[in-house]
Amino acid sequence: MRLTTTTYSRGVWSVFAIRAIETLGWSATIPFFAIYLLNERTVSLPIIGTIYLISGASSFATQILGGRLSDQYGPRLITILALGGGAGLAGLLAEMITLSSSVFMLASLFTMYSVVRGLYIPSTSAVVATEPRTAISSSFSIVYIGGNLGYMVGPAIGGLLIQSDSYSAIFALCAVTTIVAALVTAIWMSLTKSDCISEPVKLERRQSYWLKWKTDKIIIMFLVLVFFLSYSNGYQNTPLSLFAANFVHLDTASIGYIYATNGLTVVLLQFPLIRLINRITDNLTLSLAISCISTCVSCLLAGISSNFLQLEFVMFCLTIGEIFLSVPAQSMLALFSTSWNRGTYQGYYFAFSESGKNLCLFLGPLSFALLAKQVYLAWDIVAVFSLLIFAGFIILSPRVRSKYIQDARTTDIK
């Protein structure tokens, strides 16, 4: 299948562009903000982890809120407002770093930035969720590739900016790219019903927004497993950068190249791997089981890594786990949703997955600090945990498949 604008809707390609541009700036900050706090402000690893934990906890409800607001007011408006607010906060962070403001001020602004950013992601995903059932996984793959195009370039640029200028430059870059993404949203994102959740919410349907254990226990259990797997796979983010800087002693440019590997791997392999798994089976939980195994192997390798090339390979394996996690899980939530709660269900996905990643940002640095003399044990624990999650997906798989087939017979997602 060729990736052309005649194959996929204007909404998919607009979200592709928005994610690519916004993520370029955001990804330039993520590996290095923690390193800035560690090296420039001498903040301890546990406190850095706490900052990220508070940031993630604060954005949990925002993810669901962003999806719900997109159901009611349309993703275009919510995306523009969220990106505009994010650009302002990123610019303010750049200025506060230049002025060497207090760590408390920087942590507060970073948390606010994470909360505002949490509004736009489920809103844009709601656009993709309107695609036909047969195109859901491939459409999310295209959008995910867009985000990783930015992620491939952002950390490399960020590392070079820090070496040539200062840490404030990466947040200045983030502010600029976020403004550009907001302009793209305003100009390009289609307002047609096929690309935008525009159906009015009827009063009797409001109960469908919220998951209930009695009727939605399969989805809830699925989301809990996604939360745990996102925690394990989330070690590729700040924990890996802190490990690379503090234990392997790599410079910021080298760390940037490692994170560029993540983006390049997704760009090259995301679409073919998802298409391959779709040809083998329509049971998306198989992809998640593969993600568990890949994450387990990655963590075992990380524990014995001691140089740049070894960490490059660790990042490659973690990225394979990411490929088999993000799009299949996101597609599953889209398939379970209906026309009036697509945004909210995408919000659930991002709330659970991002919360898992942010818990990792707290426990990862904390485990490195507690096990500093035997840091490989911190990685081994995550590897064992990934195997337990694998067992959970295998047990849940038949029930998820049964619900998916039942919903496919009774609901037309578009």
What is the reported pLDDT for 403? 62
- Residue 190's pLDDT band (cuts 50, 70, 90): low
Is 115 within 8 Å of 354 (Cβ atoms)?
no
* Percentage with pLDDT > 90 across the chain: 30
Closest residue by Cα to residue 258 from 17, 30, 18, 22: 30
Helix 10-39 vs helix 238-246: crossing angle, to nearest 10: 30
**Does position 154 have pLDDT exceeding 50, yes or no?**
yes
What is the reported pLDDT for 158? 87
What is the reported pLDDT for 207? 47
Mean pLDDT within 198-210: 48
**Does position 281 have pLDDT exceeding 70, yes or no?**
no
**Does position 334 have pLDDT exceeding 80, yes or no?**
yes
Please tell me the distance from the alpha carbon of residue 18 to that of residue 178, in angstroms, as a whole number.
9
**Does position 384 have pLDDT exceeding 60, yes or no?**
yes
**Does position 285 have pLDDT exceeding 90, yes or no?**
no
Mean pLDDT of the chain: 83
- Higher-confidence residue of 400 and 111: namely 111
What is the reported pLDDT for 246? 85
- Higher-confidence residue of 8 and 247: namely 247
- Residue 412's pLDDT band (cuts 50, 70, 90): very low
- Please name the amino acid found at residue 207: Q
Closest residue by Cα to residue 376 from 224, 248, 203: 248
Residues 6+ apart with CB under 8 A from 65: 119, 347
What is the reported pLDDT for 404? 57
Distances from the Cα of 408 to the Cα of 71, 208, 215, 414, angstroms? 21, 18, 17, 11
Distances from the Cα of 137 to the Cα of 140, 242, 282, 332, 372, angstroms? 5, 33, 10, 9, 41
Residues 6+ apart with CB under 8 A from 328: 137, 274, 277, 284, 285, 287, 288, 291
Neighbours of 101 (CB within 10 A): 15
- Residue 209's pLDDT band (cuts 50, 70, 90): low
pTM above 0.85, yes or no: no
State which fold the 10-198+208-410 domain adopts: Growth Hormone; Chain: A; (1.20.1250)
| 37-94 residue pLDDT tens | 988 898 887 888 788 778 777 777 788 888 888 888 888 899 999 999 999 999 999 9
